[in-house]
Amino acid sequence: MNLKIAIQGIKGSNHHQVAREYFSEDIDLVECMSFHGLVDQLLDSTADKGVMAIENSIAGSIIPNYALIYDKNLHIIGEHYLNIHHNLMALKGQTIDDIVEVRSHPMALLQCREFLKTKPHIKMVEDVDTAETAKQIHDKQLKGIAAIAPIVAADLYKLDVIVPEIQTIKNNSTRFIIVKTKNKELPKNEINKASLRFVTDHKRGSLATVLNVMSDCNLNLTKIQSLPIIETPWKYAFFVDVTFDEYDNFAKAKSLLEIMSEDFRVLGEYKNARI
């Protein structure tokens, strides 16, 4: 029986590409039009695991997803990095001069803004997903409309790539995390990265003290992101990623951080995909 993998978007999206690369082809996709919908599919057991974008090398963190992981008690069990390639595509036979409107996910439009500035006659319209836009163009035979989407979407939905690789910065990568409702995926000797969440006191040096503990335990801080705690104005939770060579060092840090910080939680222990 194939694994059921929930993704944000549909076939032909970057999330679909990550699911194929991380799990191989033998999966059943559960297509979701939002990250909240993706989480719902996990919580009601419609899907076994989910693929969720968490940060981009250009645009930064997808902050609402940090809150989703914490609020819904999800566990990060893996990660995957994908180089992002944005392509302008439309119905076969169309040229750039025929296009009056381009539709795509807001992040894709943002990452292609310099190219789109050179085409002032083209109106930019935000849509829910890159591949969904490509599918709509095919299904409704929309002339004069182009999508910005991965190359696989052009193949799936029989579109022509009018202009390839239109992203402003060519070295553009997105980090995706693999999530599920339960932890425990890998033996300790294979774990060398973790995601944590904690709250510090409103005292001078509180965060510095926590970071020093991580350093003293030989943890390498690779990411730190703060989020306001809605119920307590001007108080913040910190989401951090750390890497380490020895799990025992991480275990020691965990025991200390549980004492030194508030609401400490390990969001996931997994293998570093950058090694």
Q: Residue 217: pLDDT above 90?
A: yes
Structure tokens belonging to residue 229: 């705690």
Pick the range with the lowest mean pLDDT from 52-61, 113-122, 135-144, 236-245: 52-61
Q: Does the domain at residues 191-270 carry the CATH identifier 3.30.70.260?
A: yes
- Position 275 scores a pLDDT of 66
Provide the b/e sequence for 90-124 (b: ≥16 CB within 10 Å): bbeebeeeebeebbbbebbbbbbeebbeebeebeb
What's the whole-model pTM score?
0.90
CATH number for region 87-163: 3.40.190.10
Equal fold, 3-83+173-180 vs 87-163: yes
Query: What is the domain class of 3-83+173-180 according to CATH?
Result: alpha beta
- Sorted by where each begins, the domain ranges of the chain are 3-83+173-180, 87-163, 191-270
Please, what is the average pLDDT of the chain? 93
**The predicted structure's pLDDT at residue 58:** 80
Q: Which residue has the tokens 């978007």?
A: 9
Banded pLDDT at 243 (limits 50, 70, 90): very high
| Six-digit token string for 43 | 């919580």
What length is written for the chain?
Answer: 275
- pLDDT interval class at 196 (50, 70, 90): very high
**247-266 mean pLDDT:** 95
Cα–Cα distance for residue pair 275/271, rounded to 1 Å = 9
What spatial distance separates the first Cα and last Cα of the chain, rounded to whole Å?
Answer: 31
pLDDT confidence of residue 144: 97
